[in-house]
Amino acid sequence: MKKISIAVLALAVGIAGIAAFSSCAKKTDEIVVKVGIVGDNNPQWEVIKKNLAKEGIKIELVKFGDYVLPNQALASGEIDLNAFQHYAYLNNEIKTKGYKITAIGKTIIAPIGLYSKKIKSISELKKGDTIAIPNDVVNGGRALLVLQVAGLIKVHPKGGYLPNVSDITSNPLDLKFIQVEAAQTPRLLDDVTAAFINGGHAVDAGLNPERDSLLLEKQEEGQDNPYINIIAARTEDKDNPIYKKIVDAYHTDEVKAVILKDFKGAYQPAW
């Protein structure tokens, strides 16, 4: 009986040990992927996190306060992916800073808009009024092109889709431009006549682009649209199968429904 009891005890200990090992192995096997984002309102990523957790992939969102840092962090290896920029912004970053970063999947289109606490229509703009625009060449260029479409200024064709203030050739109202980091533009609404605010920052500031903007960028969805937002990886990791799973997890009807519901038209799915 003693031998049987010892054998049973040993078997129990062995089973417990195997169970403990399996538990540790599961925890050890969990894959953590750090994704850099900008802003606080990203409900689509909560859906993605939940669904990927079932496959042993843990998404850790790393939040940045501006557009400058996420590509730096990705290039240096501090994060694994980022999802905050469109093609035009990334292309300019690669051109000016030499980043080896590649788009691996499309996400959304987020139009830039003109907002104001002081006027209710662009017809109320007066000579010498001040407008805040993002200071990065891409989003600042988008703002100027919106003003051109509205007939308020003209920019030189050489600027393409990335004109800057020096490219303005006609400015009948002698509008003044303050250039600040894109994330700061909502904070200037008390100080300027109007400000151009990117879609994500507008939503974070409690604004509804469709309802509250004086002007809203109109974009045609398509393969070559430079303002489609993306998920980006280091070029050396662009074919990583785990990262491809993350893109696939983004490209679902469930995520699309969340984007359309929560952002009320501020963002549109672009895949």
Quote the tokens at residue 178: 């303050």
CA distances from 53 to 34, 69, 142, 190 (A): 14, 27, 37, 43
The reported pLDDT for the residue numbered 11 is 47
**Nearest alpha-carbon partner for 36 in 75, 84, 68:** 84
- Residue 183 is given by DSSP the state G
State how far the Cα of 107 lies from the Cα of 270, in Å rounded to an integer: 6
Instruction: List beta partners, residue 233.
Output: 81, 102
Asked whether 214 and 114 are in contact (CB, 8 A), the reply is yes
pLDDT means per 10 residues, the chain with 271 residues, are: 46 45 49 93 93 97 93 98 93 95 94 96 98 93 95 94 93 98 95 94 87 84 74 98 98 95 82 90
| Torsion angle of the four alpha carbons 105, 106, 107, 113, in this order, in degrees rounded to the nearest 10 | 140
Spell out the alpha helix ranges (H) of 160-232. Answer: 199-204, 209-212
State how far the Cα of 179 lies from the Cα of 61, in Å rounded to an integer: 29
The reported pLDDT for the residue numbered 27 is 47
**Nearest alpha-carbon partner for 36 in 233, 200, 241, 235:** 233
For 177, what's the count of Cα atoms within 13 Å in the CB-facing half-sphere? Answer: 20
The reported pLDDT for the residue numbered 213 is 95
- Residue ranges of E strands in the chain: 31-38, 57-64, 81-82, 101-109, 113-115, 130-134, 154-155, 168-170, 176-180, 194-197, 215-216, 228-234, 268-269
Domain at 30-111+223-269: CATH architecture: 3-Layer(aba) Sandwich (3.40)
The reported pLDDT for the residue numbered 31 is 96
Report domain extents, the chain. 30-111+223-269, 113-216
What is the CB neighbour count within 10 angstroms for residue 56?
12
CATH number for the domain formed by residue range(s) 113-216:
3.40.190.10
The reported pLDDT for the residue numbered 13 is 45
